[in-house]
Structure 1
Amino acid sequence: MLRISTFNVNGIRAAQRRGFTGWLNERDPDVVALQEMRCPLTELPRDAFGEHHLSYHPGTIPGRNGVAVLTREAPAAVRAWGEGSLVAHLDSDHPLTVEVDHSTLARELRHFADEGRYIEVDLADRPLTVASLYLPKGGTPFSDEASLAKYQRKMRFLAGLARQLGRSRRAALAAGREFIVLGDFNVAHTRKDLKTWRTSQRSEGFLPEEREWFGSITSPRTLVDVVRRLHPDTDGPYSWWSWRGQSWANDSGWRIDYHLATPRLARAGVNGGTDRSVSYEARISDHSPVTVDYDLWDDGPASSTRPLVQ
Protein backbone atom coordinates (compact mmCIF):
# COMPACT_ATOMS: atom_id res chain seq x y z
CA MET A 1 0.00 0.00 0.00
CA LEU A 2 1.22 3.48 -0.85
CA ARG A 3 -0.31 6.58 0.73
CA ILE A 4 -0.01 9.75 -1.37
CA SER A 5 -1.11 13.26 -0.40
CA THR A 6 -1.20 16.65 -2.06
CA PHE A 7 -1.37 19.82 0.01
CA ASN A 8 -1.27 23.50 -0.92
CA VAL A 9 0.17 24.77 2.37
CA ASN A 10 -0.14 28.51 1.57
CA GLY A 11 3.28 29.16 3.12
CA ILE A 12 5.18 26.33 4.78
CA ARG A 13 6.34 28.44 7.73
CA ALA A 14 2.80 29.56 8.55
CA ALA A 15 1.52 26.02 7.95
CA GLN A 16 4.06 24.61 10.37
CA ARG A 17 2.91 27.05 13.05
CA ARG A 18 -0.67 25.92 12.44
CA GLY A 19 0.10 22.21 12.74
CA PHE A 20 1.54 20.90 9.46
CA THR A 21 4.05 18.60 11.14
CA GLY A 22 1.34 17.17 13.37
CA TRP A 23 -0.76 16.40 10.30
CA LEU A 24 2.23 14.80 8.58
CA ASN A 25 2.96 12.59 11.58
CA GLU A 26 -0.67 11.59 12.09
CA ARG A 27 -1.55 10.85 8.46
CA ASP A 28 1.87 9.29 7.78
CA PRO A 29 1.83 9.57 3.97
CA ASP A 30 4.60 7.91 1.98
CA VAL A 31 4.66 10.70 -0.62
CA VAL A 32 3.47 14.31 -0.30
CA ALA A 33 3.25 16.91 -3.06
CA LEU A 34 3.35 20.46 -1.67
CA GLN A 35 2.44 23.74 -3.35
CA GLU A 36 2.82 27.41 -2.42
CA MET A 37 5.73 26.74 -0.11
CA ARG A 38 6.60 30.47 -0.31
CA CYS A 39 9.97 30.02 1.34
CA PRO A 40 13.56 30.60 0.24
CA LEU A 41 15.93 27.67 0.60
CA THR A 42 17.84 29.37 3.40
CA GLU A 43 14.69 29.77 5.54
CA LEU A 44 13.13 26.32 5.22
CA PRO A 45 11.95 25.05 8.62
CA ARG A 46 14.30 22.14 9.06
CA ASP A 47 12.08 20.23 11.46
CA ALA A 48 8.85 20.49 9.44
CA PHE A 49 9.28 17.39 7.28
CA GLY A 50 10.19 14.66 9.74
CA GLU A 51 12.23 11.86 8.19
CA HIS A 52 11.07 12.58 4.66
CA HIS A 53 13.43 13.62 1.90
CA LEU A 54 12.65 16.96 0.30
CA SER A 55 12.77 17.83 -3.41
CA TYR A 56 11.99 21.53 -3.72
CA HIS A 57 11.90 24.14 -6.47
CA PRO A 58 11.36 27.52 -4.76
CA GLY A 59 11.21 29.66 -7.88
CA THR A 60 12.57 33.17 -8.11
CA ILE A 61 9.56 35.28 -7.03
CA PRO A 62 10.01 36.25 -3.37
CA GLY A 63 7.15 35.07 -1.17
CA ARG A 64 5.29 33.32 -4.00
CA ASN A 65 4.83 29.84 -5.43
CA GLY A 66 7.31 27.02 -4.73
CA VAL A 67 6.58 23.32 -5.22
CA ALA A 68 7.99 20.27 -3.47
CA VAL A 69 7.73 16.50 -3.13
CA LEU A 70 8.40 14.64 0.12
CA THR A 71 9.46 10.99 -0.14
CA ARG A 72 10.52 8.36 2.38
CA GLU A 73 13.61 7.44 0.36
CA ALA A 74 15.89 9.76 -1.55
CA PRO A 75 14.47 9.92 -5.09
CA ALA A 76 16.16 8.17 -7.97
CA ALA A 77 15.91 11.28 -10.17
CA VAL A 78 14.44 14.76 -10.04
CA ARG A 79 13.37 17.04 -12.89
CA ALA A 80 12.34 20.68 -12.67
CA TRP A 81 11.55 23.40 -15.18
CA GLY A 82 14.00 25.90 -13.74
CA GLU A 83 17.28 26.24 -11.88
CA GLY A 84 17.78 26.63 -8.14
CA SER A 85 16.23 23.50 -6.65
CA LEU A 86 17.14 21.61 -3.49
CA VAL A 87 17.00 17.83 -3.43
CA ALA A 88 18.07 16.19 -0.23
CA HIS A 89 17.06 15.30 3.26
CA LEU A 90 17.61 18.56 5.06
CA ASP A 91 20.28 16.94 7.19
CA SER A 92 22.10 15.49 4.17
CA ASP A 93 25.42 16.85 2.97
CA HIS A 94 24.96 15.30 -0.50
CA PRO A 95 22.05 16.81 -2.41
CA LEU A 96 21.15 15.18 -5.73
CA THR A 97 21.48 16.91 -9.06
CA VAL A 98 18.26 18.28 -10.52
CA GLU A 99 17.77 17.70 -14.22
CA VAL A 100 16.80 20.87 -16.12
CA ASP A 101 16.36 20.55 -19.88
CA HIS A 102 14.56 23.50 -21.45
CA SER A 103 14.76 21.87 -24.90
CA THR A 104 12.04 19.41 -23.84
CA LEU A 105 9.86 22.08 -22.21
CA ALA A 106 6.77 23.21 -24.09
CA ARG A 107 7.49 26.67 -25.50
CA GLU A 108 4.50 28.26 -23.71
CA LEU A 109 5.95 27.14 -20.38
CA ARG A 110 9.45 28.54 -20.81
CA HIS A 111 8.34 31.92 -19.49
CA PHE A 112 7.15 30.14 -16.32
CA ALA A 113 10.22 27.92 -15.88
CA ASP A 114 11.74 29.81 -12.96
CA GLU A 115 8.50 30.52 -11.09
CA GLY A 116 8.50 27.36 -8.95
CA ARG A 117 5.40 25.75 -10.45
CA TYR A 118 6.45 22.18 -11.31
CA ILE A 119 8.79 19.48 -10.07
CA GLU A 120 8.76 15.72 -10.62
CA VAL A 121 10.61 12.86 -8.99
CA ASP A 122 11.19 9.20 -9.79
CA LEU A 123 10.69 7.20 -6.61
CA ALA A 124 13.64 5.01 -5.72
CA ASP A 125 11.58 2.24 -4.12
CA ARG A 126 8.57 2.13 -6.49
CA PRO A 127 8.12 2.23 -10.28
CA LEU A 128 6.40 5.60 -10.10
CA THR A 129 7.02 9.20 -11.20
CA VAL A 130 5.35 11.83 -8.99
CA ALA A 131 4.86 15.46 -10.03
CA SER A 132 3.81 18.47 -7.94
CA LEU A 133 2.08 21.30 -9.82
CA TYR A 134 0.89 24.79 -8.92
CA LEU A 135 -1.14 26.28 -11.75
CA PRO A 136 -1.76 30.05 -12.07
CA LYS A 137 -5.09 31.29 -10.74
CA GLY A 138 -5.77 33.41 -13.79
CA GLY A 139 -8.44 36.01 -14.45
CA THR A 140 -11.43 36.62 -16.70
CA PRO A 141 -11.56 37.94 -20.28
CA PHE A 142 -14.50 40.28 -19.69
CA SER A 143 -13.29 42.34 -16.74
CA ASP A 144 -10.52 44.93 -16.63
CA GLU A 145 -7.19 44.84 -18.49
CA ALA A 146 -5.31 43.40 -15.52
CA SER A 147 -7.75 40.49 -15.25
CA LEU A 148 -7.59 39.92 -19.01
CA ALA A 149 -3.79 39.73 -18.85
CA LYS A 150 -4.00 37.14 -16.07
CA TYR A 151 -6.55 35.17 -18.10
CA GLN A 152 -4.34 35.17 -21.19
CA ARG A 153 -1.31 34.15 -19.14
CA LYS A 154 -3.17 31.21 -17.62
CA MET A 155 -4.45 30.06 -21.02
CA ARG A 156 -0.88 30.03 -22.35
CA PHE A 157 0.15 27.96 -19.37
CA LEU A 158 -2.70 25.51 -19.94
CA ALA A 159 -1.83 25.07 -23.60
CA GLY A 160 1.77 24.21 -22.80
CA LEU A 161 0.94 22.09 -19.78
CA ALA A 162 -1.34 19.80 -21.76
CA ARG A 163 1.58 18.82 -24.02
CA GLN A 164 4.07 18.72 -21.17
CA LEU A 165 1.98 16.31 -19.09
CA GLY A 166 1.63 14.09 -22.14
CA ARG A 167 5.40 14.01 -22.53
CA SER A 168 5.99 13.23 -18.85
CA ARG A 169 3.33 10.51 -18.84
CA ARG A 170 4.73 8.82 -21.94
CA ALA A 171 8.32 9.10 -20.69
CA ALA A 172 7.36 7.47 -17.39
CA LEU A 173 5.53 4.62 -19.10
CA ALA A 174 8.45 4.08 -21.49
CA ALA A 175 10.70 3.71 -18.44
CA GLY A 176 8.34 1.15 -16.87
CA ARG A 177 6.85 3.64 -14.41
CA GLU A 178 3.36 4.84 -13.63
CA PHE A 179 2.83 8.62 -13.52
CA ILE A 180 0.81 10.87 -11.23
CA VAL A 181 0.55 14.65 -11.18
CA LEU A 182 -0.71 16.16 -7.94
CA GLY A 183 -1.48 19.67 -6.93
CA ASP A 184 -3.50 22.85 -7.13
CA PHE A 185 -4.89 23.11 -10.67
CA ASN A 186 -7.01 26.20 -9.91
CA VAL A 187 -9.79 24.69 -12.05
CA ALA A 188 -13.03 23.12 -10.87
CA HIS A 189 -13.90 20.63 -13.60
CA THR A 190 -17.63 20.01 -13.18
CA ARG A 191 -20.61 21.34 -11.27
CA LYS A 192 -19.91 18.72 -8.61
CA ASP A 193 -16.57 20.39 -7.93
CA LEU A 194 -17.80 23.64 -6.39
CA LYS A 195 -20.75 24.58 -4.24
CA THR A 196 -21.55 27.88 -5.95
CA TRP A 197 -21.42 26.70 -9.57
CA ARG A 198 -24.56 28.65 -10.57
CA THR A 199 -22.99 32.01 -9.70
CA SER A 200 -19.40 31.13 -10.66
CA GLN A 201 -19.70 30.47 -14.37
CA ARG A 202 -17.99 33.78 -15.19
CA SER A 203 -15.32 33.37 -12.49
CA GLU A 204 -11.72 32.32 -13.00
CA GLY A 205 -11.35 28.64 -12.25
CA PHE A 206 -14.77 27.71 -13.63
CA LEU A 207 -14.79 29.30 -17.07
CA PRO A 208 -16.05 27.02 -19.87
CA GLU A 209 -12.66 27.03 -21.62
CA GLU A 210 -10.85 26.07 -18.40
CA ARG A 211 -13.26 23.21 -17.78
CA GLU A 212 -12.92 22.07 -21.41
CA TRP A 213 -9.14 22.10 -21.04
CA PHE A 214 -9.33 19.94 -17.91
CA GLY A 215 -11.51 17.47 -19.76
CA SER A 216 -8.96 17.35 -22.59
CA ILE A 217 -6.12 16.17 -20.33
CA THR A 218 -8.17 13.46 -18.58
CA SER A 219 -9.55 10.27 -20.06
CA PRO A 220 -9.71 6.54 -19.23
CA ARG A 221 -6.59 6.01 -21.39
CA THR A 222 -4.38 8.95 -20.30
CA LEU A 223 -4.85 10.57 -16.88
CA VAL A 224 -7.69 9.71 -14.50
CA ASP A 225 -9.14 11.94 -11.77
CA VAL A 226 -8.66 9.45 -8.92
CA VAL A 227 -10.82 11.11 -6.25
CA ARG A 228 -13.71 11.55 -8.67
CA ARG A 229 -13.35 7.89 -9.61
CA LEU A 230 -13.66 7.01 -5.91
CA HIS A 231 -16.59 9.43 -5.37
CA PRO A 232 -18.44 9.55 -8.70
CA ASP A 233 -21.73 10.88 -7.35
CA THR A 234 -20.51 13.15 -4.55
CA ASP A 235 -20.62 16.92 -4.51
CA GLY A 236 -16.96 17.56 -3.76
CA PRO A 237 -15.21 16.45 -1.66
CA TYR A 238 -14.04 20.07 -1.72
CA SER A 239 -10.42 20.99 -0.98
CA TRP A 240 -10.42 24.82 -0.81
CA TRP A 241 -12.53 27.25 1.21
CA SER A 242 -12.08 31.00 1.56
CA TRP A 243 -10.82 32.25 4.91
CA ARG A 244 -13.52 34.91 4.73
CA GLY A 245 -17.21 34.75 5.51
CA GLN A 246 -19.06 31.50 6.16
CA SER A 247 -17.54 29.41 3.37
CA TRP A 248 -16.04 26.91 5.79
CA ALA A 249 -19.07 26.63 8.05
CA ASN A 250 -21.38 26.16 5.06
CA ASP A 251 -18.97 23.82 3.24
CA SER A 252 -19.10 26.24 0.31
CA GLY A 253 -15.85 25.08 -1.22
CA TRP A 254 -14.10 24.26 -4.48
CA ARG A 255 -12.42 21.00 -5.50
CA ILE A 256 -9.29 22.25 -7.23
CA ASP A 257 -6.61 19.95 -5.74
CA TYR A 258 -6.27 16.72 -7.70
CA HIS A 259 -4.63 13.33 -8.10
CA LEU A 260 -4.39 12.70 -11.86
CA ALA A 261 -2.89 9.26 -12.45
CA THR A 262 -2.21 6.86 -15.26
CA PRO A 263 -5.04 4.32 -15.57
CA ARG A 264 -3.36 1.39 -13.82
CA LEU A 265 -2.38 3.52 -10.85
CA ALA A 266 -5.83 5.13 -10.75
CA ARG A 267 -7.49 1.71 -10.60
CA ALA A 268 -5.28 0.92 -7.61
CA GLY A 269 -6.71 3.82 -5.61
CA VAL A 270 -8.76 2.05 -2.94
CA ASN A 271 -9.94 4.90 -0.70
CA GLY A 272 -9.30 8.58 -0.25
CA GLY A 273 -10.56 12.12 -0.28
CA THR A 274 -10.07 15.39 1.58
CA ASP A 275 -8.56 15.53 5.06
CA ARG A 276 -10.95 18.28 6.15
CA SER A 277 -10.00 19.82 9.49
CA VAL A 278 -12.31 19.27 12.45
CA SER A 279 -12.91 23.02 12.83
CA TYR A 280 -12.21 26.39 11.24
CA GLU A 281 -9.70 27.13 14.00
CA ALA A 282 -7.80 23.90 13.29
CA ARG A 283 -7.21 24.72 9.62
CA ILE A 284 -3.59 24.65 8.48
CA SER A 285 -4.21 26.40 5.16
CA ASP A 286 -7.11 27.64 3.06
CA HIS A 287 -6.66 24.30 1.28
CA SER A 288 -7.00 20.89 2.92
CA PRO A 289 -4.82 17.90 2.02
CA VAL A 290 -6.16 15.36 -0.46
CA THR A 291 -4.99 11.84 0.35
CA VAL A 292 -5.41 8.50 -1.43
CA ASP A 293 -4.24 4.98 -0.61
CA TYR A 294 -2.99 3.02 -3.64
CA ASP A 295 -2.93 -0.77 -3.50
CA LEU A 296 -0.76 -1.19 -6.58
CA TRP A 297 2.16 -3.03 -5.02
CA ASP A 298 1.68 -5.72 -2.42
CA ASP A 299 4.08 -4.79 0.35
CA GLY A 300 1.98 -5.84 3.33
CA PRO A 301 -0.88 -4.38 5.34
CA ALA A 302 0.97 -1.58 7.13
CA SER A 303 -1.24 1.17 5.70
CA SER A 304 -4.52 -0.64 6.31
CA THR A 305 -4.64 0.49 9.93
CA ARG A 306 -4.57 4.19 9.00
CA PRO A 307 -8.14 5.20 8.14
CA LEU A 308 -8.73 8.08 5.76
CA VAL A 309 -10.97 11.07 6.35
CA GLN A 310 -13.21 11.81 3.36
Structure 2
Amino acid sequence: MLRLASANVNGIRAAVRRGLPQWLEQRRPDVVALQEVRCEPGLVPPLPGWHLTLDAGTRAGRNGVAVLSREVPSAVRTGIGNQAFADEGRYLEVDLDRAGLTVASLYLPKGDRPGDGPAAEARYRRKLRFMASLARQLTDSRRAAARQGREFVVMGDFNIAHTELDLASWRTNRRSPGFLPEEREWFGSLLGSRRLVDVVRRLHPGSPGPYSWWTWRGQAFSNDAGWRIDYQLASPGLAGRALRGGTDREPSYEARMSDHSPVVVDYALPPA
Protein backbone atom coordinates (compact mmCIF):
# COMPACT_ATOMS: atom_id res chain seq x y z
CA MET A 1 0.00 0.00 0.00
CA LEU A 2 1.10 3.57 -0.71
CA ARG A 3 -0.17 6.29 1.61
CA LEU A 4 -0.06 9.88 0.30
CA ALA A 5 -0.94 12.87 2.44
CA SER A 6 -1.24 16.62 2.04
CA ALA A 7 -1.32 19.19 4.82
CA ASN A 8 -1.39 22.96 4.94
CA VAL A 9 0.48 23.31 8.21
CA ASN A 10 0.04 27.10 8.61
CA GLY A 11 3.65 27.33 9.82
CA ILE A 12 5.67 24.15 10.25
CA ARG A 13 7.21 25.20 13.55
CA ALA A 14 3.78 25.78 15.05
CA ALA A 15 2.53 22.48 13.57
CA VAL A 16 5.44 20.61 15.15
CA ARG A 17 4.52 22.08 18.52
CA ARG A 18 0.90 21.08 17.95
CA GLY A 19 1.62 17.44 17.15
CA LEU A 20 2.85 17.00 13.56
CA PRO A 21 5.57 14.47 14.53
CA GLN A 22 3.06 12.42 16.50
CA TRP A 23 0.63 12.46 13.57
CA LEU A 24 3.39 11.32 11.20
CA GLU A 25 4.29 8.48 13.54
CA GLN A 26 0.68 7.41 14.00
CA ARG A 27 -0.46 7.61 10.37
CA ARG A 28 2.85 6.58 8.77
CA PRO A 29 2.38 8.14 5.32
CA ASP A 30 4.93 7.42 2.61
CA VAL A 31 4.88 10.91 1.10
CA VAL A 32 3.53 14.18 2.53
CA ALA A 33 3.02 17.41 0.61
CA LEU A 34 3.17 20.47 2.88
CA GLN A 35 1.97 24.01 2.26
CA GLU A 36 2.43 27.29 4.14
CA VAL A 37 5.66 26.00 5.65
CA ARG A 38 6.60 29.61 6.48
CA CYS A 39 10.16 28.76 7.46
CA GLU A 40 13.66 29.10 6.08
CA PRO A 41 15.37 25.76 5.36
CA GLY A 42 17.83 26.01 8.24
CA LEU A 43 15.09 26.68 10.78
CA VAL A 44 12.80 23.73 10.02
CA PRO A 45 12.58 21.49 13.11
CA PRO A 46 14.13 18.04 12.60
CA LEU A 47 11.78 15.29 11.44
CA PRO A 48 13.80 12.06 11.82
CA GLY A 49 13.32 9.48 9.10
CA TRP A 50 12.16 11.98 6.51
CA HIS A 51 13.83 13.67 3.59
CA LEU A 52 12.61 17.25 3.28
CA THR A 53 12.50 18.98 -0.09
CA LEU A 54 11.56 22.63 0.43
CA ASP A 55 10.90 25.69 -1.68
CA ALA A 56 10.62 28.36 0.98
CA GLY A 57 10.33 31.26 -1.46
CA THR A 58 11.81 34.66 -0.65
CA ARG A 59 8.95 36.17 1.35
CA ALA A 60 9.94 35.76 4.96
CA GLY A 61 7.25 34.11 7.06
CA ARG A 62 4.90 33.51 4.12
CA ASN A 63 4.04 30.67 1.74
CA GLY A 64 6.55 27.85 1.27
CA VAL A 65 5.84 24.36 -0.07
CA ALA A 66 7.60 21.11 0.71
CA VAL A 67 7.54 17.37 0.19
CA LEU A 68 8.44 14.88 2.91
CA SER A 69 9.50 11.53 1.47
CA ARG A 70 11.15 8.35 2.64
CA GLU A 71 13.40 8.30 -0.42
CA VAL A 72 15.63 11.04 -1.77
CA PRO A 73 14.08 12.48 -4.95
CA SER A 74 15.92 11.86 -8.20
CA ALA A 75 14.89 15.30 -9.48
CA VAL A 76 13.39 18.49 -8.06
CA ARG A 77 11.63 21.31 -9.94
CA THR A 78 10.10 24.53 -8.66
CA GLY A 79 7.74 27.12 -10.08
CA ILE A 80 5.01 27.05 -12.72
CA GLY A 81 6.85 28.60 -15.65
CA ASN A 82 5.61 32.12 -14.88
CA GLN A 83 8.40 34.32 -13.58
CA ALA A 84 5.91 36.59 -11.81
CA PHE A 85 5.48 33.82 -9.21
CA ALA A 86 8.98 32.35 -9.31
CA ASP A 87 10.07 33.51 -5.85
CA GLU A 88 6.87 32.83 -3.91
CA GLY A 89 7.30 29.21 -2.85
CA ARG A 90 3.98 28.02 -4.25
CA TYR A 91 4.78 24.97 -6.42
CA LEU A 92 7.31 22.18 -6.05
CA GLU A 93 7.72 18.86 -7.89
CA VAL A 94 9.81 15.83 -7.00
CA ASP A 95 10.45 12.59 -8.87
CA LEU A 96 10.38 9.52 -6.63
CA ASP A 97 11.78 6.59 -8.58
CA ARG A 98 11.07 3.76 -6.13
CA ALA A 99 7.47 4.92 -5.74
CA GLY A 100 7.10 5.46 -9.49
CA LEU A 101 5.68 8.93 -8.89
CA THR A 102 6.05 12.57 -9.67
CA VAL A 103 4.60 14.42 -6.68
CA ALA A 104 3.75 18.13 -6.67
CA SER A 105 2.93 20.30 -3.67
CA LEU A 106 0.80 23.37 -4.40
CA TYR A 107 -0.28 26.47 -2.51
CA LEU A 108 -2.56 28.47 -4.78
CA PRO A 109 -3.17 32.16 -3.95
CA LYS A 110 -6.37 32.93 -2.10
CA GLY A 111 -7.26 35.85 -4.35
CA ASP A 112 -10.19 38.15 -3.72
CA ARG A 113 -13.54 39.23 -5.12
CA PRO A 114 -13.65 41.51 -8.17
CA GLY A 115 -15.40 44.83 -7.82
CA ASP A 116 -14.37 45.39 -4.18
CA GLY A 117 -11.84 48.10 -4.96
CA PRO A 118 -8.47 48.29 -6.73
CA ALA A 119 -6.55 46.13 -4.25
CA ALA A 120 -9.15 43.35 -4.30
CA GLU A 121 -9.35 43.53 -8.10
CA ALA A 122 -5.56 43.18 -8.35
CA ARG A 123 -5.57 40.11 -6.10
CA TYR A 124 -8.41 38.58 -8.10
CA ARG A 125 -6.63 39.14 -11.44
CA ARG A 126 -3.38 37.81 -10.03
CA LYS A 127 -5.03 34.58 -8.93
CA LEU A 128 -6.50 34.13 -12.41
CA ARG A 129 -3.04 34.56 -13.96
CA PHE A 130 -1.61 32.00 -11.57
CA MET A 131 -4.42 29.57 -12.39
CA ALA A 132 -3.83 29.90 -16.15
CA SER A 133 -0.11 29.21 -15.76
CA LEU A 134 -0.74 26.35 -13.34
CA ALA A 135 -3.12 24.61 -15.75
CA ARG A 136 -0.38 24.55 -18.39
CA GLN A 137 2.16 23.34 -15.83
CA LEU A 138 -0.03 20.46 -14.67
CA THR A 139 -0.61 19.31 -18.24
CA ASP A 140 3.11 19.42 -19.00
CA SER A 141 4.03 17.67 -15.76
CA ARG A 142 1.46 14.92 -16.16
CA ARG A 143 2.61 14.21 -19.71
CA ALA A 144 6.29 14.29 -18.75
CA ALA A 145 5.66 11.82 -15.92
CA ALA A 146 3.80 9.49 -18.28
CA ARG A 147 6.67 9.55 -20.79
CA GLN A 148 9.03 8.52 -18.00
CA GLY A 149 6.75 5.72 -16.76
CA ARG A 150 5.59 7.55 -13.63
CA GLU A 151 2.18 8.41 -12.29
CA PHE A 152 1.54 12.04 -11.34
CA VAL A 153 -0.23 13.61 -8.38
CA VAL A 154 -0.57 17.23 -7.30
CA MET A 155 -1.54 17.68 -3.67
CA GLY A 156 -2.24 20.84 -1.80
CA ASP A 157 -4.30 23.87 -0.99
CA PHE A 158 -6.12 25.02 -4.13
CA ASN A 159 -8.11 27.69 -2.27
CA ILE A 160 -11.15 26.71 -4.37
CA ALA A 161 -14.22 24.70 -3.42
CA HIS A 162 -15.22 23.01 -6.66
CA THR A 163 -18.90 22.20 -6.15
CA GLU A 164 -21.74 22.81 -3.72
CA LEU A 165 -20.73 19.58 -1.98
CA ASP A 166 -17.39 21.15 -1.12
CA LEU A 167 -18.47 23.76 1.42
CA ALA A 168 -21.08 23.74 4.12
CA SER A 169 -22.59 27.19 3.47
CA TRP A 170 -22.47 27.39 -0.30
CA ARG A 171 -25.63 29.50 -0.62
CA THR A 172 -24.13 32.37 1.36
CA ASN A 173 -20.73 32.07 -0.34
CA ARG A 174 -21.71 32.26 -4.01
CA ARG A 175 -19.81 35.56 -4.37
CA SER A 176 -16.94 34.66 -2.04
CA PRO A 177 -13.34 34.16 -3.18
CA GLY A 178 -12.76 30.46 -3.57
CA PHE A 179 -16.29 29.76 -4.79
CA LEU A 180 -16.61 32.18 -7.69
CA PRO A 181 -18.05 30.66 -10.89
CA GLU A 182 -14.90 31.28 -12.90
CA GLU A 183 -12.73 29.61 -10.23
CA ARG A 184 -14.98 26.57 -10.11
CA GLU A 185 -15.08 26.33 -13.90
CA TRP A 186 -11.29 26.48 -14.06
CA PHE A 187 -10.99 23.72 -11.45
CA GLY A 188 -13.37 21.54 -13.44
CA SER A 189 -11.24 22.06 -16.57
CA LEU A 190 -8.35 20.26 -14.84
CA LEU A 191 -10.39 17.09 -14.42
CA GLY A 192 -11.21 14.32 -16.85
CA SER A 193 -10.68 10.66 -17.65
CA ARG A 194 -7.49 11.55 -19.56
CA ARG A 195 -6.37 14.44 -17.40
CA LEU A 196 -6.55 14.45 -13.58
CA VAL A 197 -8.98 12.87 -11.12
CA ASP A 198 -10.21 14.37 -7.83
CA VAL A 199 -9.45 11.24 -5.84
CA VAL A 200 -11.30 12.05 -2.61
CA ARG A 201 -14.44 13.06 -4.50
CA ARG A 202 -14.27 9.78 -6.43
CA LEU A 203 -14.11 7.96 -3.10
CA HIS A 204 -16.98 10.02 -1.65
CA PRO A 205 -19.37 10.64 -4.54
CA GLY A 206 -22.45 12.67 -3.77
CA SER A 207 -21.57 13.31 -0.13
CA PRO A 208 -20.90 16.73 1.43
CA GLY A 209 -17.21 17.21 2.19
CA PRO A 210 -15.16 15.75 3.66
CA TYR A 211 -14.10 19.31 4.48
CA SER A 212 -10.45 20.17 5.03
CA TRP A 213 -10.47 23.81 6.23
CA TRP A 214 -12.37 25.56 9.02
CA THR A 215 -11.83 29.09 10.27
CA TRP A 216 -10.33 29.39 13.72
CA ARG A 217 -13.18 31.74 14.64
CA GLY A 218 -16.41 30.77 16.36
CA GLN A 219 -17.91 27.28 16.21
CA ALA A 220 -17.07 26.46 12.58
CA PHE A 221 -14.89 23.46 13.48
CA SER A 222 -17.23 22.12 16.15
CA ASN A 223 -20.18 22.40 13.74
CA ASP A 224 -18.19 21.04 10.77
CA ALA A 225 -18.99 24.22 8.82
CA GLY A 226 -15.96 23.93 6.58
CA TRP A 227 -14.65 24.05 3.04
CA ARG A 228 -13.00 21.30 1.00
CA ILE A 229 -10.15 23.21 -0.61
CA ASP A 230 -7.29 20.72 -0.15
CA TYR A 231 -7.07 18.05 -2.82
CA GLN A 232 -5.21 15.13 -4.29
CA LEU A 233 -5.53 15.32 -8.08
CA ALA A 234 -3.99 12.22 -9.61
CA SER A 235 -3.33 10.82 -13.04
CA PRO A 236 -6.01 8.29 -13.97
CA GLY A 237 -3.78 5.26 -13.43
CA LEU A 238 -2.94 6.27 -9.88
CA ALA A 239 -6.49 7.41 -9.13
CA GLY A 240 -7.77 4.01 -10.20
CA ARG A 241 -5.71 2.41 -7.44
CA ALA A 242 -7.21 4.54 -4.65
CA LEU A 243 -8.57 2.33 -1.88
CA ARG A 244 -9.79 4.79 0.75
CA GLY A 245 -9.19 8.35 1.78
CA GLY A 246 -10.49 11.56 3.22
CA THR A 247 -9.67 14.16 5.83
CA ASP A 248 -7.88 13.40 9.09
CA ARG A 249 -10.13 15.74 11.07
CA GLU A 250 -8.85 16.16 14.60
CA PRO A 251 -11.12 15.02 17.46
CA SER A 252 -11.43 18.49 18.97
CA TYR A 253 -10.75 22.17 18.36
CA GLU A 254 -7.93 22.06 20.91
CA ALA A 255 -6.20 19.19 19.09
CA ARG A 256 -5.94 21.01 15.74
CA MET A 257 -2.50 21.30 14.14
CA SER A 258 -3.64 24.02 11.74
CA ASP A 259 -6.77 25.63 10.35
CA HIS A 260 -6.53 22.84 7.73
CA SER A 261 -6.61 19.10 8.43
CA PRO A 262 -4.52 16.59 6.46
CA VAL A 263 -5.99 14.88 3.39
CA VAL A 264 -4.85 11.25 3.26
CA VAL A 265 -5.40 8.61 0.57
CA ASP A 266 -4.28 4.97 0.48
CA TYR A 267 -3.42 3.51 -2.93
CA ALA A 268 -2.82 -0.08 -3.94
CA LEU A 269 0.71 -0.63 -5.11
CA PRO A 270 1.10 -1.32 -8.84
CA PRO A 271 1.62 -4.92 -9.95
CA ALA A 272 5.21 -6.11 -9.61
Q: TM-score, with normalisation over the residues of structure 1?
A: 0.86
Which of 190, 203, 213 is equivalent to 2:163? 190
1:236 to 209, 218, 221: 209
> Which amino acid letter does the alignment assign opposite residue 265 of structure 1?
L
What number of residue pairs does the alignment pair up? 272
Q: What secondary structure is seen at the aligned counterpart in 1 of 2:184?
A: helix
Letter in 2 for 1:67: V
Partners in 1 of 2:75 and 2:103 — Cα distance?
11
Query: Partner of 1:92 in structure 2?
Result: none
1:116 pairs with 2:114? no
1:264 paired residue among 228, 237, 240: 237
Structure 1 residue ranges, 4+ long, deviating more than 6 angstroms after superposition: none
Between 1:182-191 and 1:69-78, the stretch displaced more is: 69-78
Shift of 1:221: 1.2
CA drift at 1:298: 5.0
- Rounded to whole Å, the distance in 1 between the matches of 2:41 and 2:69 is 18
Listed one character per residue, the Cα deviations across residues 107-148 of structure 1 (whole Å, up to 9, x for unaligned) are: xx2110110001111113121100000000000102122111
Alignment match, 1:38:
38
SS of 1:157's equivalent? helix
| 1:254 and 2:252 matched | no
CA distance in 2, matches of 1:191, 1:249: 20
3-state SS, counterpart of residue 169 of structure 1: helix
User: What is the aligned partner in structure 1 of residue 76 from structure 2?
Assistant: 78
Answering whether residue 190 of structure 2 is matched by residue 217 of structure 1, we say yes
Q: Please name the residue that 2:249 is paired with.
A: 276
Q: How does 1:1-310 map to 2 (within 5 A)?
A: 1-46=1-46, 49-81=47-79, 105-106=80-81, 109-297=82-270
Q: 2:74 is matched by which residue type in structure 1? A: A
1:258-287 deviation line (CA, Å, top 9, x unaligned): 000000100100001000000000000000
What secondary structure is seen at the aligned counterpart in 2 of 1:37? coil
Structure 2: unaligned runs, 5 residues or longer:
none
Tell me the TM-score normalized by structure 2: 0.98
Deviation at 1:219, TM superposition (A): 0.9
Name the aligned partner's letter for residue 189 of structure 1. Answer: H
User: Could you tell me whether the CA contact under 8 Å between 1:265 and 1:296 is conserved in 2?
Assistant: no
Q: What is the distance in 1 between the residues matched to 2:12 and 2:193?
A: 35
Distance in 1 separating the partners of 2:109 and 2:62: 11
Q: Distance in 1 between matches of 2:225 and 2:39?
A: 29
CA deviation after TM superposition for structure 1 residue 296, in Å: 3.2
State the 1:150 CA deviation. Answer: 0.6
Alpha-carbon distance between aligned partners in 1 of 2:83 and 2:178, rounded to the nearest angstrom: 22
